């Protein structure tokens, strides 16, 4: 998510872009050239950046890339745009919205949002995000669609408000907690050829902030994981701020906890400063109100180390978030499992790369300004003939963080106690502390601070890895520019790609390059007739966009790109509403496939096994989508997208 899109939640969005990385890792050799710096010094005020209006309404035509078989759609700059525009020859319809019934006994959504939290526990959560499709074994026309519900917006409540300035009513907090998490819904292709939900499926399931889950891996049961309500350190209620996802080769869903830090507060200033596991993640501190103030109704979210433990004892609760959570969608009774071997970060995703020999890697971004790109390499190998042995493959392995060198090479730095400076002398008592404070470990190891790493995607054939670096307006000030993050005050972001040595997911060396820089192209003129400043010019071959976020490959190797920017703010205003685009990795051509309603983020992508149905999420639409009547409260919604001629999406 971005931090500032619609009026509904401007103050409530998780602040995923606040730089709290204090490390002084050396910049890559290449600094931005002095001429560029001068442009910036000339006084870039965001308010003054009224460019683009005339420049980017065009869209590209079908034909140049063999992979991209559709005609692009134009940007939508109408401030009242309240629907979805998809490429000609396609159909996009609302499929699954916040409040829709999921579990047995769930009521239908009430337009006045008056459902209580018990109802919300059985209904679709809010802010649909990352999503995957799991076919039933041996079937192609029936499966489970599993998606994240990242956070909540004020329309969740009948008043349309969340008042953080007063103690929160517990019932409101519970409803918000119930609206977080994950939905599992069964879908099948109907007799009419259209995909539909199976409303009475036993697989339909909600997982929320109130669902008990197991803690597994190296930190399970350790003191740092114990709280007054879980003296075992083995069980935790809920998962939070579930952003993007991953899929394992053994058919489980990985949900990733991103901006969990915004839900906790530590009011003890002295303790806060000294406690790396709070401070390095940017928990709220006394006087800040960036969270939902859950701690005013539910003491679990007050992580202050009060002397009187009867009134506290939750100082370790924030240690129980920031993980990859494994969910078996085919076993509705199975507890979700937090896999601590992955390390604790602001986890964006866990994108799988599977080698021919069963060895694998899971790639993750940590989405905040100047944070890092990680991969986790399980110690074992996937073996399809040993389903039981695969069950706990995620509990042992090596966490790495990336260093992108200026010559186009790169290194994976192992976050292993005793290596890369991760020693007792440097403040890391043992491997548990390395994993708990993975950000600090990555600082010490010398990782490259990046422009807010969002999703990673792995090419289905070559295993080339793509990472969306969404933007970083602090680049140049807090972190010097470098080759991988070349633009100061980077409002538009970039997509970077890399190849592991010998295409081996477990390699420790790789080569990388920038796939594209988003933003207006060089030489373009703004509204004022002046050239667009060089720090905002991009290298897109095709349709323009800003702030790449969601990334996913389809089976044919098309790279789909989803955007997340504040569409009300210059210069993004002229990019129009957020978008879903498609790129050809070979030609780098980019074409705009879909535009979402005003105020939304476009995120989450899944396909049917034949590639002829695609689901995409419209997160936090701003006006009244999907009713699109100008008055019904807006609802995050999954779209079902099909081609009118029944063909493969994008072909």
If DSSP states are collapsed to H, E and C, what string results for 65-112? CCCCCCCCCCCCCCCCCCCCEECCCEEEEEEEECCCECCCCCCCCCCC
Q: Least distance to Ca ion from the beta carbon of 243, Å?
A: 5
Choose the contact partner of 451 out of Ca ion, ligand FEO, none; CB within 5 to 8 A by kind.
none
**Interacting residue with ligand FEO among 13, 132, 176, 258 (CB under 6 A):** 258
List, in order, residues 6 or more apart from 370 with CB less than 8 Å away: 19, 21, 449, 450, 472, 474, 475, 478, 479
Instruction: Tell which residue, 538, 555, 531, has the closest CA to residue 590.
Output: 538
**Whose Cβ is closer to Ca ion: residue 5's or residue 403's?**
5
Task: Give me the least distance between CB of 618 and Ca ion, in Å please.
Answer: 14
Look at residue 342 and give its three-state secondary structure. Answer: helix
- Examine residue 367 and tell whether it contacts ligand FEO (CB under 6 A): yes
Nearer to Ca ion, 322 or 526 (CB): 322
> How far is 408 from 514, CA to CA, in rounded Å?
9
Q: Which is nearer to ligand FEO, 52 or 615 (CB)?
A: 615
Q: What count of other Cβ atoms lies within 10 Å of the Cβ of residue 112?
A: 10
Neighbours of 389 (CB within 10 A): 13
Query: Does 454 engage in binding with ligand FEO (CB under 6 A)?
Result: yes
For Ca ion, the closer of residues 500 and 564 by Cβ is 564
Helix (H, G, I), strand (E, B) or coil at 173: helix
Is 549 an interacting residue with respect to Ca ion (CB under 5 A)? yes
DSSP class of 341? G
Q: Candidates 101-109, 152-160, 293-301, 544-552 — which segment interacts with Ca ion by CB under 5 A? A: 544-552
Least distance from ligand FEO to the Cβ atom of residue 374, Å:
14
Q: Of 100, 115, 132, 150, which lies in the binding site for ligand FEO, with binding defined by CB under 6 A?
A: 150
Task: Provide the Cα torsion 413, 418, 424, 425; round to 10°.
Answer: -70
505 and 359 Cβ atoms separated by less than 8 Å: yes
Return phi, psi of residue 301, to 5°.
Answer: -95, 5
Q: Which is nearer to Ca ion, 121 or 575 (CB)?
A: 575
Dist CA 143 CA 568 (whole Å)? 38
CA distances from 347 to 11, 366, 546 (A): 22, 5, 22
Nearest CA among 48, 8, 365, 270 for reference residue 162: 8
566 binding ligand FEO? (CB under 6 A):
no
Q: Which helix (H) or strand (E) holds 272?
A: helix 269-274
Q: Within 559-618, which residues bind Ca ion (CB under 5 A)?
A: 564
Q: Which is nearer to ligand FEO, 367 or 567 (by Cβ)?
A: 367
Least CB distance to ligand FEO at residue 495 (A) = 15
CB nearer ligand FEO, residue 115 or residue 371: 371
Which of 243, 458 has the CB closer to Ca ion?
243
Min dist. Cβ of residue 2 to Ca ion (A): 5
Binder of residue 219, out of Ca ion, ligand FEO, none (CB less than 5 to 8 A by kind): none
3-state SS string for 246-289: EECCCCCEEEEECCHHHHCEECCHHHHHHCHHHHCCCCEECCCC
Does position 13 interact with ligand FEO (CB under 6 A)? The reply is no
| CB closer to Ca ion, 608 vs 619 | 619
Smallest gap from residue 151 Cβ to ligand FEO (A): 8
Radius of gyration (C-alpha) of the chain in whole angstroms: 23
Q: How many chain residues are in contact with ligand FEO, going by CB under 6 A?
A: 8
User: In this complex, which beta carbon is closest to ligand FEO, that of residue 245 or of residue 316?
Assistant: 245
Smallest distance, ligand FEO to C-beta of residue 93, A: 25
Residue 258: contacted member of Ca ion, ligand FEO, none (CB under 5 to 8 Å, by partner type): ligand FEO
Q: How many Å apart are CA 252 and CA 53, to the nearest integer?
A: 45
Distance (Å, rounded) from C-alpha 150 to C-alpha 209? 11
Least Cβ distance, residue 603 to Ca ion (angstroms): 6
Residue 82 interacting entry, from Ca ion, ligand FEO, none, C-beta within 5 to 8 Å by type:
none
Between the CA atoms of 448, 449, 454 and 458, what dihedral angle is there, to the nearest 10 degrees? -10
Q: Is 348 in the site for ligand FEO (CB under 6 A)?
A: yes
State which residue, 222 or 469, has the beta carbon closest to ligand FEO: 469
Distance CA 375, CA 322 (A): 15
> Minimum CB separation from ligand FEO for residue 195, in Å?
26
Q: By CB under 6 A, name the one of 145, 243, 297, 648 that touches ligand FEO.
A: 243
**Least CB distance to ligand FEO at residue 16 (A):** 5
Using CA atoms, how far apart are residues 567 and 491, in angstroms rounded to an integer?
12
302 binds ligand FEO (CB under 6 A): no
Which residues lie below 8 Å from residue 512, measured CB to CB, with a gap of 6+?
404, 408, 409, 410, 484, 496, 497, 498, 499
Question: Closest distance between Ca ion and the C-beta of residue 470, in Å?
Answer: 5
Question: What is the x/- site pattern for Ca ion, positions 431-470, by CB under 5 A?
Answer: -----------------------x----------------
Measure the CA–CA gap between 481 and 39, rounded to whole angstroms. 15
Q: Which C-beta is closer to ligand FEO: that of 70 or that of 260?
A: 260
Q: How far is the CB of 167 from Ca ion (least distance, A)?
A: 31
Q: Which of 16, 176, 302, 500 binds ligand FEO (CB under 6 A)?
A: 16
100 lies in the site for Ca ion, by CB under 5 A: no
Size of residue set near Ca ion by CB under 5 A: 3
Per partner kind, with CB cut-offs from 5 to 8 A, the member of ligand FEO, Ca ion, none near residue 150 is ligand FEO
Distance CA 387, CA 252 (A): 12
Rounded Cα distance between 241 and 231, Å, is 24
How many helices and strands, by DSSP H and E, does the chain display?
A: 8, 34
Residue 490 CB-half CA count within 13 A: 32
Binding positions for Ca ion, rule: CB under 5 A: 454, 549, 564
Binding positions for ligand FEO, rule: CB under 6 A: 1, 16, 150, 243, 258, 348, 367, 454
């Amino acid at each position: 998510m971005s931090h500032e899109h619609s009026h509904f939640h401007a103050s409530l969005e998780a602040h995923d872009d606040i730089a709290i990385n204090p490390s002084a890792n050396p910049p890559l050799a290449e600094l931005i050239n002095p001429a560029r710096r001068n442009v910036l010094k000339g006084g870039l005020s965001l308010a003054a950046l009224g460019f683009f209006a005339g420049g980017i309404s065009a869209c590209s035509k079908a034909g140049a890339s063999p992979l991209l078989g559709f005609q692009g759609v134009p940007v939508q700059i109408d401030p009242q745009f309240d629907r979805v525009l998809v490429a000609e020859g396609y159909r996009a319809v609302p499929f699954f919205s916040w409040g829709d019934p999921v579990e047995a006994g769930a009521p239908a959504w009430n337009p006045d949002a008056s459902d209580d939290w018990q109802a919300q526990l059985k209904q679709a959560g809010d802010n649909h995000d990352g999503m995957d499709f799991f076919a039933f074994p041996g079937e192609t026309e029936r499966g489970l669609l599993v998606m994240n519900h990242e956070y909540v917006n004020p329309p969740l409540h009948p008043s349309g408000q969340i008042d953080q300035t007063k103690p929160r009513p517990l019932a409101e907090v519970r409803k918000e907690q119930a609206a977080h998490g994950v939905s599992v819904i069964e879908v099948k292709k109907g007799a009419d050829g259209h995909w539909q939900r199976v409303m009475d499926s036993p697989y339909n399931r909600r997982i929320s902030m109130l669902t008990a889950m197991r803690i597994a891996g190296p930190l399970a049961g350790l003191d740092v994981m114990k709280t007054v309500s879980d003296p075992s350190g083995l069980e935790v209620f809920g998962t939070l701020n579930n952003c993007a996802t991953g899929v394992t080769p053994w058919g489980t869903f990985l949900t990733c906890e991103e901006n969990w830090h915004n839900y906790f507060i530590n009011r003890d200033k002295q303790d806060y400063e000294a406690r790396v596991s709070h401070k390095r993640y940017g928990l709220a501190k006394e006087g800040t109100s960036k969270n939902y103030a859950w701690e005013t109704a539910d003491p679990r979210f007050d992580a202050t180390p009060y002397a009187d433990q009867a009134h506290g004892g939750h100082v370790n609760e924030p240690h129980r978030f920031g993980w990859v959570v494994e969910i078996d969608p085919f076993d509705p009774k199975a507890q979700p499992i937090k896999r601590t071997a992955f390390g604790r970060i602001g986890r964006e995703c866990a994108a799988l790369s599977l080698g021919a020999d069963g060895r694998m890697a899971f790639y993750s971004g940590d989405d905040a300004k100047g944070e890092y790109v990680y991969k986790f390499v399980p110690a074992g190998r996937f073996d399809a003939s040993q389903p039981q042995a695969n069950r706990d493959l995620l509990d042992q392995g090596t966490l790495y963080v990336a260093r992108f060198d200026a010559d186009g090479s790169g290194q994976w730095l192992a976050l292993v106690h005793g290596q890369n400076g991760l020693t007792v002398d440097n403040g890391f008592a043992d491997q548990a502390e390395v994993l708990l404070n993975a950000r600090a470990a990555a600082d010490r190891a010398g990782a490259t601070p990046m422009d807010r790493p969002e999703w990673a995607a792995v090419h289905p054939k070559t295993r080339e890895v793509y990472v969306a670096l969404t933007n970083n307006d602090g680049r140049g000030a807090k972190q010097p520019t470098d080759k991988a993050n070349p633009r100061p005050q980077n409002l538009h972001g970039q997509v970077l790609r890399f190849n592991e040595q010998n295409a081996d997911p477990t390699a420790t060396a790789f080569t990388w390059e920038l796939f594209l820089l988003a933003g207006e192209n060089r030489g373009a003129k703004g509204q004022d007739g002046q050239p667009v400043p060089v720090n905002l010019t991009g290298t897109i071959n095709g349709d323009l966009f800003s702030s790449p976020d969601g990334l996913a490959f389809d089976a044919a190797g098309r790279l789909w790109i989803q955007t997340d920017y504040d569409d009300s703010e210059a210069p993004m205003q002229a990019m129009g509403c957020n978008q879903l685009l498609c790129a050809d990795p070979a030609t780098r051509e980019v074409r705009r496939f879909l535009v979402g309603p005003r105020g939304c983020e476009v995120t989450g992508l899944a396909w049917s096994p034949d590639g002829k149905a695609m689901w995409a999420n419209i997160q936090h639409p701003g006006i009244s989508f999907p009713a699109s009547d100008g008055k019904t409260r807006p609802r995050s919604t999954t779209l079902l997208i099909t081609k009118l001629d029944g063909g493969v999406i994008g072909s």
